[in-house]
């Protein structure tokens, strides 16, 4: 069934107020659209847990530090709505820019520490934009549960910390990364890859899996890092922004995973920035 598309906060609140009065559990899946199976797995998880499910689509200008990136971001609302039909969600919330950031909007949510590393170093202001819009979406939807992919692992940890620090009563669920058959992590940005680049893209995950195996055998990451970066670049990536092992909870840099940790990477392929992460210790 096609979900009602609501574009204003007033319409959204009129619906959620009824659900809250009935004691229903509300789940939200925040997205920027261009939905793929990774997003749909989040919707599936929300449907299993919650009485009501809201999917949001908002290409958030505040989290883009590059105007071309914002301009080129895929916008596929019609297809997205069609892909959601089989889930029978309750609302597809698609606010526009002025609805989300009305004239005079002047507030920013900053989560310090967690945002100073990894993608935060390479995309100044990005996570302020994410934390601000996600805080707004949590408050706008009054959701009890929110669903995010582990593919954006740093984002997930930032959102968790933001909700905790601001006392927003919501449970943030991290869901497993969904991959293409060749290992490439699903991402809306994959749509921007040319056919030639798409063939090369799985090399990033292949190399990460190889490193994870070495780490599991006890090799310190510092002995693997340089050669791994060279192999990724030799496979066709133009630049590896980072390839690091970090603790899950506070993203502290580790050489050997003495506590639950992930290997995280960002690299450019033919003008497209890809990120990925895998567990090196659960
Ligand atoms: O992961 C995304 O698609 C976005 O960063 C999010 C969480 C929807 C905020 O705009």
pLDDT per residue over 129-159, tens digit each?
999 999 999 999 999 999 999 999 999 999 9
Q: With a cut of 90, say whether residue 197 has pLDDT above it.
A: yes
12 and 6 Cβ atoms separated by less than 8 Å? yes
Q: With a cut of 90, say whether residue 1 has pLDDT above it.
A: no
Respond yes or no: is residue 78 known to be catalytic. Answer: no
For the whole model, what pTM was predicted?
0.97
Q: With a cut of 90, say whether residue 28 has pLDDT above it.
A: yes
Compute the average pLDDT of residues 92-98.
98
Catalytic, out of 36, 39, 122, 173: 39
Q: How far is the CA of 115 from the centre of ligand 1 (A)?
A: 15
CB neighbours (10 Å) of residue 250? 12
pLDDT per residue over 108-120, tens digit each?
999 999 999 999 9
Atom of ligand 1 nearest to the CA of 152: 1
Compute the average pLDDT of residues 183-202.
97
The Cα 169–Cα 145 span in angstroms is: 9
What is the pLDDT at residue 124?
A: 95
Cα dihedral: 195, 39, 71, 117 (round 10): -100
- Which residue minimizes the CA distance to atom 1 of ligand 1? 31
All domains in the chain, ordered by first residue: 5-175 (3.40.50.620), 188-280 (3.30.1300.10)
**Average pLDDT of every residue of the chain:** 97
Choice from 133, 141, 157 to test ligand 1 binding pocket (greatest atom count within 8 A of CB):
133
Nearest Cα residue to 55 out of 95, 112, 10: 95
Pairing of strands 239-247, 171-175: unpaired
Percent of all residues in the chain with a pLDDT value above 70, rounded to a whole number: 100
CA 25, chain centre distance (Å): 23
- Our CA angle for 226, 232, 234, nearest 5°, is 100
Confidence of residue 24 (pLDDT cuts 50, 70, 90): very high
Percent of all residues in the chain with a pLDDT value above 90, rounded to a whole number: 98
Compute the average pLDDT of residues 178-202.
97
pLDDT per residue over 35-93, tens digit each?
999 999 999 999 999 999 999 999 999 999 899 999 999 999 999 999 999 999 999 99
Q: How far is the CA of 223 from the centre of ligand 1 (A)?
A: 34
166 and 135 Cβ atoms separated by less than 8 Å? yes
Q: With a cut of 90, say whether residue 282 has pLDDT above it.
A: no
Q: With a cut of 90, say whether residue 232 has pLDDT above it.
A: yes
Quick one: tokens of 261? 């940790």
Atom of ligand 1 nearest to the CA of 134: 9
pLDDT per residue over 243-261, tens digit each?
999 999 999 999 999 999 9
The Cα 173–Cα 160 span in angstroms is: 9
What is the pLDDT at residue 2?
A: 87
Work out the burial of residue 23: count CB atoms within 10 Å of its CB; fewer than 13 is exposed, 13-18 middle, 19 or more buried: exposed
Q: At residue 147, what are phi and psi to the nearest 5 degrees?
A: -125, 125
Three-state secondary structure along the chain? CCCCEECCHHHHHHHHHHHHHCCCCEEEEEECCCCCHHHHHHHHHHHHHCCEEEEEECCCHHHCCCHHHHHHCCCCHHHHHHHHHHHCCCEEECCCHHHHCCCCCCCCCCCCCHHHCCHHHHCCCHHHHHHHHHHHHHHHHCCCEEEEEHHHHHHHHHHHHHHHHCCCCCEEEEECCCECCCCCECCHHHHHCCHHHHHHCCHHHHHHHHHHHHHHCCCCHHHCHHHHHHHHHHCCCCEEEEEEEEECCCCCECCCCCCCEEEEEEEEECCEEEEEEEEEEC
Lining ligand 1 with CB less than 6 A are 30-32, 60, 63, 130, 133-134, 152, 155
- Which residue minimizes the CA distance to atom 5 of ligand 1? 130
- Which residue minimizes the CA distance to atom 9 of ligand 1? 130
Quick one: tokens of 27? 């789940």
């Amino acid at each position: 069934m096609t979900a009602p598309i609501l574009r204003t906060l007033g319409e959204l609140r009129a619906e959620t107020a009824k659900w809250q009065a009935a004691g229903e559990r509300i789940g939200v899946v925040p997205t920027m659209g261009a939905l793929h199976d990774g997003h749909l797995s989040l919707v599936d998880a929300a449907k299993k847990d919650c009485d009501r499910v809201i999917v949001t689509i908002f290409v958030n200008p505040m989290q883009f530090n590059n105007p071309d990136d914002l301009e080129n971001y895929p916008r596929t609302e019609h297809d997205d709505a069609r892909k959601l039909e089989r889930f029978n969600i309750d609302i597809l919330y698609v606010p526009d820019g002025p609805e989300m950031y009305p004239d005079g909007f002047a507030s920013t949510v900053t989560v310090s520490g967690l945002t100073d590393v990894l993608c935060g170093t390479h995309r100044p202001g990005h996570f302020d934009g994410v934390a601000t819009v996600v805080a707004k979406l949590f408050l706008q939807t009054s959701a009890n549960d929110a669903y995010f992919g582990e593919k954006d692992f740093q984002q997930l940890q930032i959102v968790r910390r933001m909700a905790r620090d601001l006392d927003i009563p919501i449970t943030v669920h991290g869901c497993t990364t969904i991959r293409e058959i060749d290992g490439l992590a699903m991402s809306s940005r994959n749509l921007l890859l040319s056919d030639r680049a798409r063939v090369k893209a799985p090399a990033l995950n292949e190399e990460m899996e190889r490193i994870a195996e070495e780490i599991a055998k006890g090799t310190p990451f510092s002995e693997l890092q340089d050669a791994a970066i060279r192999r990724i670049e030799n496979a066709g990536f133009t630049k590896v922004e980072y390839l690091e092992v970090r603790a899950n909870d506070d993203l502290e840099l580790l050489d050997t995973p003495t506590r639950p940790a992930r290997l995280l990477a960002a690299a450019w392929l033919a003008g497209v920035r890809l990120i990925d992460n895998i567990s090196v210790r659960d």
